[in-house]
Structure 1
Amino acid sequence: MKILIAEDEEFSRDLLRAQLESLGHDVVAVSSGSQAWGTMQQERFSMVITDWMMPDVDGLELVRRIRTHPETGYVYIILLTGKSERTDLITGMLRGADDFLSKPYDRDELDVRIRAGERVINLERSLKAKNEELARSNQEIERASQRMKRNLDAAARIQKSLLPRDLPQNHAVDFAWIFRPCDELAGDIFNVFQLDHDNIGFYLLDVVGHGLPAALLSVTLSRFISPSTSSSGQFPNVASDTAFLSPSKVASALNEQFPMDGIGQQYFTLLYGCLNVCTREMQYVAAGHPGPVVIPANDAPRIVQVEGYPIGLVDQPEYSDRHLSLAPGDRVMLYSDGVLDCQNPDGEHFGEDRLIAAVSERRESLNEDVQSLNNQLVGWCGGRTPDDDISLLAMQLLDD
């Protein structure tokens, strides 16, 4: 171990140096505190043994300089002193000394003190190495976290790109929506598309769970259902006596195509429908999904209660089509259960009654009312991130 001695008495300095070298240490000896401090600017030492009383820079001042200059690294300091008063020892410890060696001392006591200091130094070095390793690991984790964040952000942008963009080109129906994932990625997704000249298709689905697994399935389902991206040949155009599958047949086909397996344990709820813009007849199926909110132009809104198994939960469930006759000005809203289950800071759910009250207040446009509902949900959450994805797809039949 490399040791620096600061001792102004030549005999004591030479004796201490000889004793330390006989114990196998690499020793540098100087005659003053200022010389010791200058030497420490040039070389690194594991231990300093300094006399307390020296001219110019004494032992206490040398200790202070070492402790207030972190570039010296950790140095174990032993004060040589003839002082034995308790207050003197406390003063030295407060300044930063690690140990004391009272004059006169013998070689065995010196050896014991040095060995004790060496154990502390080794522990300090081990701790420093582990801290440096931990810092490197934390840097790697941070870099990995940033990469993951960038990937998740990119995936979220891709997922949002699957939301309605190219709306059906007609002047019979208006659309608006809310999409608020509880994580970077959502298990909810919805879309609107043209089935044929007179019919518009739409759906909103909610994959059980959150995060990446739910989002992956929701994106897969979106591409499977939407006619512009479907490669299966099943959705929505089929070679039959009708131009497209009925909602109940869509649900049955999805249930067959996406059964819940024993690994992912994933299933999803779905509300799928089609609207004939000429007859204003809406046909839909609900597979374990909350029923739609129907908001007549001249009557009170209501939630249509429906039953049905979620997609993939059981084999060959029976799905049936439901029908709604709509009029100009009527609205229909599809939503995920995250709307009703949205909680305030007291743990109270938003619920059906508040949803009905919110959609009863009609303004100039559908978009304004949907944004007003979104603001109410944000306020209800108290600024917190919701515990579940919040999705809503609204449509309004326009006047001829």
Structure 2
Amino acid sequence: MRILVADDDEVSALVLSERLEDLGYQVSVARDGAEAWSHMQQADYRLLILDWMMPIMDGMELCRRVRQQQSDSYTYIILLTGRTDRRDRLEALEGGADDFLTKPLDQAEFLARLKAAARVLSSDEALRLSNHELQLARLKELEIGAHIQQRLLYSPPPTSVQAIRTASLSIPSQSVDGDFCDFFELSDGAVDVVVGDVMGKGVPAAMVGAGVKTNLQRSLLRLLVKDPDSLPRPADLIRDLAGSVSAELIELNTFLTLCYARFDARRNKLAYVNCGHPKIIHWRARAGAIELLETTAVPLGFSDEAEYEEREVDLEPGDLILFYSDGITDLHQPEGGRLGIAGFAEWVAPRAHLPLEDLIAELVCLRDASLGEGLMRDDFTCVAVRFVGSEVANEDGLSLWADSSALRKVRSYLDDLIRATPFQDRDRAEILLAVQEAASNAINHARKGHHALPLHVQAKTSADSLRIDLRYPGVPFDATEVPPPVLDGSQDSGFGVAIIRKCMDLVTFGVDKDLNHVVLEKRYPR
């Protein structure tokens, strides 16, 4: 053990240090309190033996400074003085000294006090090591809990469902949290998404979340068994779930917000029940506008007699649905104040067209910029869902969320139809090229900076020709403003429109009901 002796009397300091070294201790000597403090900044001393009266900084001042300093280990202090008054002894103990000895030292008493100091420091070290081991064990448990949570509370979306694309983000304020989400792939092109947030943080919240999620799966199974010929409505599911867990949540003095939503690709509908969760953000791709879908019920655990209302909204290919926790809306803006639901919706609007992974990445940047060096106070969760619909052609044509990769679906739809007409292979290639140019023009220019947009393609045959209509939102396209192509390489524009006109017999560009409307027509060969 390292001992620091501070005494301005060099003879006393020398005698004391030699005696301590004979006992096997490592000893350093300082001539005053200031020098002793300097020694302490360079090495760890568990025992200090300080003379009360010293120049520059006395023993009492050094004692107070040591006690004000934060340290993982305890420092035992023995104060030496020629004073014998009881009030001096009390002042020393109140100032932070552990023991008090008067000069000249009685060797037997001094050795006994050293042994007492060693016992205290040994017990402190054992307690410190025990606490460290407990902390390591707790961190290990949290690490295991976080791993289990990622496996049990955060379910990946079903990969076989074509109606939606999803991306999600969940960052707990602690290693484990009470946020959870799940996806249920149902029949007839329907997929359900559930997102929940349990009051509180840490392991207790995660356990409640796991219990509620398990009961929700049981409710779904129970209702499917009860009536296997129809899907249970979201409201019926939540009522059944509430009947299973509300009383227990009330008894536990906790609650959770939960949103249950069904995406129906056959009917192009979203049905949902929102139990106290932040308002769903619905970005309508065709209009490029945000709608906030209202909460429909109180959180689970507020009352065992609550009503759970279901609502339904129309969906179109490209629509974006965002489910999120209040950890997002509680973020602080650079100009001050909470982000809030309206602020988050305003942030989403210009980014809603992005690929979902890019949108989530920008959300992480927003979080990091808001927190700075501060600690996150709440769990941070977001589930983004892009509705793409069935993307299956019917008698009305093909509707889809069109990016560059979607053009192959347009070609496949038209190719099957063209092959049933009198067109030859060359004609078929020209038609497909013209449609590809028209669709590419829409994707690249109708909404500046956007990566995709809703596109409706319809093909009709008549007795003597094939007509293809393309409709999409965005800036109206005026073909008269497009210059003719220049072949010397001095100009990039004009080639797409020229190719379209070359390949088709009739081409018109116009606007119909606020949508761009392109008509391509080609007569059958004679």
- TM-score norm. by structure 2 comes to 0.54
Aligned to 1:279: 267
Work out whether residues 296 and 309 of structure 2, in 8 Å CA contact, stay in contact via their aligned partners in 1. no
CA 1:274 to 1:114, structure 2 compared with 1: closer, same or farther past 3 Å?
same
Q: In the TM superposition, what is the alpha-carbon distance from 1:256 to its structure 2 partner? A: 1.2
> Deviation digits for residues 241-278 of structure 1, max 9, x if unmatched?
65332111121112111124465212111100111122
1:327 aligns with 2:280: no
2:184 corresponds in structure 1 to: 193
Give me the whole-angstrom Cα distance separating, in 2, the residues matched to 1:258 and 1:233. Answer: 14
Is structure 2 residue 337 aligned with structure 1 residue 384?
no
Deviation, structure 1 residue 283: 0.7
Q: CA deviation at 1:365?
A: 0.8
Query: Could you say which residue in structure 2 is the equivalent of 1:339?
Result: 328
1:357 maps to amino acid: E
Equivalence for 1:264: 252
2:327 is aligned with 1:374: no
Q: Which moved more, 1:275-284 or 1:163-172?
A: 163-172
The range that moved more, 362-371 or 192-201, is 362-371
Residue type at the aligned position of 1:253: D
Q: 1:296 aligns with which of 284, 287, 297?
A: 284
Give the structure 2 partner of residue 393 of structure 1: 383
* CA distance 1:348–1:131, shift in 2 (3 Å): farther
Structure 1's unaligned 5+ residue stretches are 1-51, 53-57, 75-88, 101-111
Amino acid at match of 1:206: D
Partner of 2:172: 181
Q: State how far apart, in whole Å, the 2-side matches of 1:288 and 1:166 are.
A: 24
Find 2:139's aligned residue among 149, 152, 163: 149
| Displacement of 1:361 | 2.1
Q: Within 2, Cα distance between the matches of 1:322 and 1:140?
A: 55
- The alpha-carbon deviation at position 219 of structure 1 amounts to 1.4
Residue aligned with 1:258, SS: helix
| Alignment correspondent of 1:310 | 299
Structure 1 segment 113-192 matched on structure 2, within 5 A: 116-162=106-152, 163-192=154-183
Alignment of 1:186-225 (within 5 A): 186-225=177-216
- CA–CA distance in 1 between the matches of 2:334 and 2:129? 35
**Distance in 1 between residues matched to 2:259 and 2:366, nearest whole Å:** 24
SS across alignment from 1:220: helix
Please state how far the C-alpha of 1:223 moved relative to its aligned partner.
2.8
Query: Would the aligned equivalents of 2:296 and 2:310 in 1 still touch at CA under 8 Å?
Result: no
Distance (Å, rounded) in 2 between the aligned partners of 1:313 and 1:211:
21
Counterpart residue type for residue 359 of structure 1: V
Contact 1:192 1:202 in 2 (8 A): yes
How many angstroms does 1:379 deviate by? 1.3
Q: Distance in 1 between matches of 2:54 and 2:277?
A: 74
Q: Does 1:72 align with 2:25?
A: yes
**Larger displacement relative to structure 2 (306-315 or 206-215):** 306-315
Give the aligned partner of residue 240 of structure 2: 253
Q: How does 1:32-47 map to 2 (within 5 A)?
A: none
Give the Cα separation in 1 of the matches to 2:157 and 2:22.
66
The answer to whether residue 349 in structure 2 is matched with residue 360 in structure 1 is yes
Deviation string, structure 1 residues 47-80 (Cα, Å, up to 9, x no partner): xxxxx9xxxxx98755555567883378xxxxxx
Checking the alignment, whether the CA contact within 8 Å between 1:345 and 1:381 is kept in structure 2 is no
Question: 2:225 matched to 1:238?
Answer: yes
- With over 3 angstroms needed to count, the CA separation of the structure-2 counterparts of 1:287 and 1:212, relative to structure 1, is same
- Structure 2 letter corresponding to 1:146: L
Gaps of at least 5 residues in structure 2 are 1-9, 28-52, 59-78, 83-101, 392-526
Query: Larger RCO: Structure 1 or Structure 2 (Cα < 8 Å, ≥ 6 residues apart)?
Result: 1
Looking at structure 2, the residues matched to 265 and 158 of structure 1 have their Cα atoms a distance apart, in angstroms, of: 25
In 2, the alpha carbon distance for the partners of 1:305 and 1:166 equals 25
Matched residue type, 2:260: Y
1:161-218 deviations in Å (ceiling 9; x for gaps):
2313252413221101110111111111111220224210111111111111111011
Mapped to 1, the partners of 2:382 and 2:54 lie a distance apart of 71
Q: Would you say 1:351 and 2:304 are equivalent positions?
A: no
CA–CA separation in structure 2 for the residues paired with 1:148 and 1:90: 46
- In 2, the alpha carbon distance for the partners of 1:309 and 1:60 equals 74
Q: 1:219 to 1:148 in 2, by over 3 A?
A: same
130-139 vs 337-346, greater mean Cα deviation: 337-346
Given that 1:195 and 1:236 are in contact with CA atoms closer than 8 Å, whether structure 2 keeps it comes out as no
Q: Partner amino acid for 1:395?
A: V
Task: Kindly provide the CA deviation profile for residues 93-134 of structure 1, in whole angstroms up to 9, marking residues without a partner as x.
Answer: x9xx9789xxxxxxxxxxx97884544433332222112111
CA 90–346 in structure 1, closer or farther in 2 if over 3 Å, else same: same
